[in-house]
Amino acid sequence: MNSHLNALIALSMLAGSSLASPITYQGVLEDGGESADGMYDMVFTLADQPVGGFALQDIAVDDVQVSGGLFEIEVDFDDVHFTGADRWLAVRIEGALLTPRTKINYTPYAIRATSAQEADLAFDLQVPWVVVDTQEIIDATSTRSTAISGRATSLTGSHAGVYGQSDSESVDAVGIHGVISDTEPGFFSAGVYGENRGEGTAGFGVYGTHAGEGYGVYGRSEGDGYGVFGTAPSGFGLYGTSQTGTGIYGFTNTGAEALHARTANGDRAVFADNTNSGTEAYLATEMYGLEAYNIDTPGTGTGLYAEGGQIGIEAVADAIGDGGGMLTRIGVNARAGGPTVIGNEFYGVYTRAEAPVIEGANTAYGIYSGAQTGDMFNTAYGVYSEVFGPAGVKFAGYFQGDVHIAGTLSKSSGSFKIDHPLEPENKYLSHSFVESPDMTNIYHGVETLDASGGAVVALPGYFEALNRDFRYQLTAIGAPMPNLYIASEISSNQFVIAGGVPNAKVSWEVMGVRQDPSAIENPIIVEEEKPDRHKGKYLDPAAFGLDDSHAIHPGPQEN
């Protein structure tokens, strides 16, 4: 059907009137070049632009009587749409859109359309307007610009530029659904795009709320992409708050990132704030990969809690690069307490490992540490600890239990310290270790001589395997024994005493130098020259009245 319409529009209202009266629409309709007769379905749409723009209101009128090509109908649009701004009328007859639209003027005089309108139903109409069917679904298609555009021009109130609502109770129901249909879209293409042009700190580009326990904003990636992706040249790439629940929740079951945030100017990429608990967390700040606080009540709360099936926390300092000139790398930097903090116990690092109570060879390490040297000029410390403070009891290391050292132990001094056996409640008793330039083992005992004044002294079965270079000491007990001597040196792990008084007692002592593989592999060098990098420095600078700058092994510098 080829339709030709000459339209006559009249408004029964005065210019400047605050209320819009019904519009009387009169026209002449031609079908196939001849005057139309019959019943026709028509849709009248009020628009805010001559082309494109936003559909303010649709009024569908079915079975309009056309006789001899002539018809007349009243269309009553809502008063709220007549704000004094220009308005246009679009007409669709039997599904065919008539173009161009007719401008509605605020005047008491009827005016004639400036040009004839035509529609050809044989064509697939690709125009920036709407089709309204019996289910009230709006479908807009545009080959040139925006298919649907909404604008609220009021400077007050919370009017929506575009408002979508669904009353469905089905799964996946949506109020507004945006789709990019191309399988290879441009980089910044978006199914739904929100923009806030405010230059202050108020407002949101996209804002979502939920009245129940669901999600204010929900994002999902079906492939290896991101469920939610946020960037910011300054400020927050992604910002979430919660008064009682979770500020930001990310989940993935495809192997991609549950949460990915990036900022371009060195500011924090993610900020999480639970204002009721005083808990704050910053991801990827200029100084820290993660910066977390729990400061609701002073002296309580955990700043960072991490739980993993294998590793609770893994911390790595850069293995490459010069760090912008910084020479210190710290995997974990922990601190507790301070000069003015109230408390009884403070742990810079507290660790605990528990092997399971099941059969099997299980090992638990409270702390496991290692260090590696790069070359002969480096020094590595598996564990380095020191204590500070002018007074009090201080231990750089305190072990409650057995201690084993697989290697050589060196020290500036040594002693045992125990509760005094005569006054354990009030005193200590300390003795110095016996020192020797050799790895010396000492064995001793008391033997009762036989009727001939001699004795065979049996030593442990490992004695000759462990020791060499034997030394002997004999002391008479009870009476002088001027002829007492070693009749036979150690052989088959025993030696013979002779020349004593029959049935008398003799105290004996034997010393040997270790020759086991560990001793051979780690010999004690009694005197050695300091390497050039250590000359002028001391193992114990304080003993010489010097500070830590003269130490061969200075303490780590505090950051």
* Separation CA 293–CA 291 (nearest Å): 7
Per-residue pLDDT at 112: 31
Q: 274 and 242 in contact (C-beta within 8 Å)? A: yes
Q: Is pLDDT at 278 greater than 80 in this prediction?
A: no
pTM comes to 0.49
Q: Per-residue pLDDT averaged across 48-61, rounded? A: 89
Higher pLDDT, 7 or 349: 349
Closest CA to 45 of 90, 83, 1: 90
* Parallel, antiparallel or unpaired: strands 467-477 and 505-514: antiparallel
Least confident of 203-217, 266-280, 285-299, 383-397: 266-280
pLDDT tens, 418-465?
889 999 989 988 888 888 888 999 999 999 999 999 999 999 999 999
* Separation CA 55–CA 139 (nearest Å): 12
The DSSP call for residue 530 is P
pLDDT tens, 329-379?
777 888 887 778 887 788 888 888 888 887 777 888 888 888 888 887 888
Averaged confidence pLDDT in the chain = 77
**Beta-bridge partners for 260:** 229
Q: Is pLDDT at 416 greater than 50 in this prediction?
A: yes
Burial of 25 (0-12, 13-18, 19+ CB in 10 A): buried
Q: Is pLDDT at 283 greater than 90 in this prediction?
A: no
Q: Is pLDDT at 251 greater than 50 in this prediction?
A: yes
Residue by residue, DSSP assigns 120-182 as: ETTS----SSEEE-TT--EEE--SSS-SS------SSS---SS-------STT--SS------
* Residue found under tokens 């008539």: 98
Per-residue pLDDT at 334: 81
What is the residue extent of each domain of the chain?
2-140, 218-305, 440-521
* CATH class of the 2-140 domain in this structure: mainly beta
At 317, is the pLDDT very low, low, confident or very high (cuts 50, 70, 90)? confident
At 476, is the pLDDT very low, low, confident or very high (cuts 50, 70, 90)? very high
Q: 329 and 323 in contact (C-beta within 8 Å)? A: yes
* Separation CA 77–CA 46 (nearest Å): 8
For residue 100, say if its preceding peptide bond is cis, omega within 30 degrees of 0.
Answer: yes
Per-residue pLDDT at 149: 65
Higher pLDDT, 145 or 483: 483
pLDDT tens, 150-166?
666 667 766 677 777 77
Per-residue pLDDT at 474: 97
pLDDT tens, 72-114?
888 888 888 887 788 888 888 888 888 888 888 754 333 333 2
DSSP H helices in 287-441:
none
- Percentage of the chain exceeding pLDDT 70: 75
∠ CA 314-320-324, rounded to 5°? 105
Chain-centroid distance, C-alpha 436: 55
3-state secondary structure of 517: helix
At 28, is the pLDDT very low, low, confident or very high (cuts 50, 70, 90)? confident
Residue by residue, DSSP assigns 327-340 as: ----S-------TT
Q: Per-residue pLDDT averaged across 132-149, rounded? A: 51
Residue by residue, DSSP assigns 194-246 as: -----SSS---SS----SSSS-SS----SSSS-SSEEEESSS-SEEEE-SSS-
